[in-house]
Amino acid sequence: MWEKTMCGENMTHANAKREISGADQTKLAMQLGATEVSDRPVTWSDLAGRIEPDRSPTLEAAGATIRTELAERLDGEVLERERDRLAARIERLPEVRETGVPNEPHGCYEAVADPGWRLYEHLAEGEFFERLDETLPRFTPGHIERTARELVLTTPLSAALDDVGFDESEKTALLIAVANDADRLARWVPSNQIPDGVEFDTETVPPLHRRAMGGALLWIRGLDRHLWQNEVLVTEEVLDAAVAHTKTMLGGLFLSATAACDIATTGRLTDEQVTAAFAAGTAVQIVGQEELLHEVFYVTDETRAPSKLR
Partner 1 sequence: MALRNDRAVQAARDIELTEIEDGYTLVGGPDDSVTEQHDTDRIPEVDVDQEMLSGTGEDPESWLMYGGNYEQHRATTADVITPDNVSDLELEYELSVGTGSSMEGTPIVVPGDPPIMYQTNGPNHMKAIDPREGEVLWSYTYAPPIGVELCCDDNNRGAAVLGDTVYMTTLDSGIVALNRYTGEEEWHTQTADHEVGYSATWAPVIYDGTLYTGSAGGEYGVLGFIAGLDAESGDMQWKCDTLLEDEWVGASREHGCGTSWMTPTIDEDRGVLYSPVANPGPDFDGTVRPGPNFPTCGTLSLDLESGEFNWGFQSSPHDVWDYDAAAPRVLVPDVSVEGESMDLVVGSDKSGWVYMMDADSGKLHERSEEICQHINMWEMIPHISEDERVPFVPGAPGGNDWQPPSYNPATGLVYVIHQNYPQDLYWRYEEYEAGHPYWGGNLDDPASEFPDEWNGAITAFAAVDPATGERVWRDWIESEDDHYMWGGSLSTATGLVFNGTQNGNFVAYDGESGDRLWEYEFDVPISASPMSWYDPGEEKQYVAVQVGGSGWLRQGPRGDTLAVFSMDG
Query: What is the contact surface with partner 1 in residues (CB under 8 A)?
Result: 124, 183-184, 187-189, 191, 194-195, 197-201, 203-206, 210-212, 214-216, 218-219, 222, 225-226, 228-233, 289-290, 293-294, 297-298, 300-301, 304, 307, 309-310
Shortest spacing between CB 40 and partner 1, in angstroms: 30
C-beta of 85 vs 304, nearer to partner 1: 304
C-beta of 51 vs 194, nearer to partner 1: 194
State the DSSP code for 301.
T
Shortest spacing between CB 113 and partner 1, in angstroms: 12
Distance CA 194, CA 202 (A): 9
Shortest spacing between CB 154 and partner 1, in angstroms: 27
C-beta of 4 vs 294, nearer to partner 1: 294
Q: What is the 3-state secondary structure (H, E, C) of 110-152?
A: HHHHHHHHHHHHHHHHCCHHHHHHHHCCCCCHHHHHHHHHHHH
Shortest spacing between CB 300 and partner 1, in angstroms: 6
Q: Cβ contacts of residue 192 below 8 Å, gap of 6+?
A: 133, 134, 202, 207
C-beta of 189 vs 280, nearer to partner 1: 189
Distance CA 242, CA 62 (A): 34
Sign of CA dihedral 27, 31, 36, 40: negative
C-beta of 171 vs 221, nearer to partner 1: 221
Query: Shortest CA distance to 305 belongs to which of 236, 255, 258?
Result: 236
